[in-house]
Amino acid sequence: LDAGRRDDIVEHLEAAHAAEVADLLESLPPDQRSGLWDVIPAEQEGEILSHLRDEARASIIEEMDDVELVAAARSMAPEDLAEVIEELPDERHTALLQTLDGDHRQRLQAVLTFGQNTAGRLMSTDVLSVRPDVSVAVVLRWLRRHQVLPPHTDTLMVIDEQGHYLATLGVDRLLTSDPQAIVGQLMRQDTVVVRADMSEHEVAALFERRDLISLPVLDQEDHLLGRITIDDVVDIIREESDKVLLNRAGLDEDEDLFAPVMPSARRRGLWLGINLMTVFLAAAVIGRFEAVLDQIVALAVLLPIVASMGGIAGSQTLTLMIRGLALDQIANANVRWLIGKEIAVGALNGIAWAVVVAFVAYLWFGSTGISVTIASAMILNLLIAALAGVLIPLGLKRVGIDPALSGAVILTTVTDIVGFLSFLGLATVILL
């Protein structure tokens, strides 16, 4: 990014789509990121900001002064600006709100009245609507005067005089119908609608299942408020998938790979601390069996095996459950079958690998007692792991905690403790 290539870069940026520039910014270490940001033309900044992930965006906004931020905000759609403004520190939030002009501010505040992660936040208010009693020819004439349609307009909304939503009229019907036909005869009343308070997750599931491009958003009295388009839904699906992947490692879904060292270390440190507590718990379990460990050192050598196998088997069940819950595939009606199945799978694999472990342990230490101990402990731990893999995510969901976030750490705590307890406990009974 040396000065001589600046013009080159600006030229490239002008040709690129805002989302591509956002991707590029997210792939740069802090210094280069702000270097690139400085050469981005002011009129593109708003659009690019709306494509960045929260954390990368925060890193850039921190370096923008208020004048630059206001200029960028002016070019942003209210629904994008709402997302940005909520992440700002209080004083910048207020300052920015005050400098927006009346109309823009009102539209922004209307978006902000909807709860986070709801359809109301997602929708665009840029909608074309028509009355049911006009002819196709009239609609076509009106569209020709419009010149530019909102992006991804696959349907027009049909509304009555009071703004109540009635139905959708597909653009394809407009193109293929007789110009004399009346909208009311062509419109489709069976299309699904979205309520403004519907969650993003439900909206995405609806689009995905029905292969939709856009849906109308209504309030409780059926007034048409706006529309949601598939490009926003794609972003939600991507966010949900990032969330499942990153939360599992105790990371926020917006975690910025190229964040500076200190904030990264602080955020990750918390998760390490939680893990440290759970592993101390496991160590305390081992500590209860110092007597048997002191006499049979082979037990210390084999110690990780039972716990580790339980952790792996349990995390397989847990992972399937997390996906099943995300896809709304799990209900009371099938949980009992699932528990039975997972326990049977755990028993089969427990027995199969217990035989292998017992054999290897016998070759290694030549003690039938040790072999019987480790084999029994392993079967027991894989059964508990299967049960825990089903019940932990269900329990977490019931109390309103996302299983993708803390399911794995609770599960491995259970499988570690049960693993150590069963192995060393059985050893005390069988070998001492």
Residues 382-421 that bind its own copies (CB under 8 A): 416
Our CA dihedral for 401, 405, 407, 410, rounded to 10 degrees, sits at -100
Angle (CA) 74 97 61, round 5°: 65
The reply on whether position 163 binds its own copies by CB under 8 A is: no
Contact indicator for 195, 217 with CB cutoff of 8 Å? yes
The reply on whether position 151 binds its own copies by CB under 8 A is: yes
Residue 226: C-alpha distances to residues 125, 126, 135, 341 (Å): 4, 7, 23, 46
The reply on whether position 373 binds its own copies by CB under 8 A is: no
Q: For its own copies, which stretch binds (CB under 8 A), given 42-50, 69-77, 100-108, 299-307?
A: 299-307
Number of residues located near its own copies, criterion CB under 8 A = 115
Q: Which is nearer to its own copies, 97 or 193 (CB)?
A: 193
The reply on whether position 17 binds its own copies by CB under 8 A is: yes
Write out the binding residues for its own copies, residues 18-47 only, by CB under 8 A.
19-20, 23, 26-29
For residues 26 and 161, what is the distance between their CA atoms, to the nearest angstrom? 47
The reply on whether position 176 binds its own copies by CB under 8 A is: yes
The reply on whether position 366 binds its own copies by CB under 8 A is: no
Alpha-carbon 208 to chain mean position: 15
The reply on whether position 300 binds its own copies by CB under 8 A is: yes
Q: What own/partner pairs with CB < 8 Å and gap ≥ 24 does 125-128 have?
A: 125/78, 125/225, 125/226, 126/77, 126/150, 126/226, 126/227, 127/157, 127/216, 127/224, 127/226, 127/227, 128/153, 128/156, 128/157
Q: Which is nearer to its own copies, 72 or 299 (CB)?
A: 299
The reply on whether position 335 binds its own copies by CB under 8 A is: no
Contact indicator for 125, 226 with CB cutoff of 8 Å? yes
Q: Which is nearer to its own copies, 96 or 410 (CB)?
A: 410
For residues 114 and 389, what is the distance between their CA atoms, to the nearest angstrom? 36
The reply on whether position 3 binds its own copies by CB under 8 A is: no
The reply on whether position 242 binds its own copies by CB under 8 A is: yes
Contact indicator for 131, 174 with CB cutoff of 8 Å? no
In the complex, minimum distance from the CB of residue 429 to its own copies, in angstroms, rounded to a whole number:
19
The reply on whether position 234 binds its own copies by CB under 8 A is: yes
The reply on whether position 280 binds its own copies by CB under 8 A is: yes
The reply on whether position 272 binds its own copies by CB under 8 A is: yes
Residue of the chain from 49, 61, 321, 379 that contacts its own copies (CB under 8 A): 321
Alpha-carbon 191 to chain mean position: 27
Residue of the chain from 161, 337, 398, 400 that contacts its own copies (CB under 8 A): 337
The reply on whether position 107 binds its own copies by CB under 8 A is: no
The reply on whether position 209 binds its own copies by CB under 8 A is: yes
State the number of CA atoms in the 13 A half-sphere of 406 facing the CB.
13
